[in-house]
Copies of this chain bind each other. A is one copy, B any other.
């Protein structure tokens, strides 16, 4: 069964830690061993797993992506958010985390981030937990 996490981004570009919500769904599912699939059904957002402890990492990721894919760079797409589509493809729409003993097997410093590239908006992340 697919569950959804609702996310509210607070800026045009924003990394939002959704680890507690994903962990809650894993617990709720009762699955002890399996794979947690995460999927972003948006074309101007993405998902990444990175350091959650120090907010400066998030800031540096955003700043670096802005430099690599500037907001304005002679794009042809008329909606003015081509940079957000490109960032979405660079980071990707899906991720997976393994589950063991009923818990997400994240590394010590890892958190799961919803990546907003064309906010602020209300968004969703689909979560599918498969035992196995």
A13 touches B (CB below 8 Å): no
> How many copies make up the complex?
3
Main secondary structure of the interface of A (DSSP, over half): mixed
Residues of chain B contacted by A64 (CB below 8 angstroms): 69, 73, 82-83, 86
Interface residues on A, range: 35 or more
CA distance in complex: A67, B113 (Å): 25
Residues of the B chain whose Cβ atoms lie less than 8 Å from the Cβ of A33: 1
A107 vs chain B, min Cβ distance (A): 3
Question: What does the 1/0 interface line of A81-116 toward B look like (CB < 8 Å)?
Answer: 011011011111111111010000111111000000
A68-86 residues with Cβ-Cβ distance < 8 A to B are 68-69, 73, 75-79, 82-83, 85-86
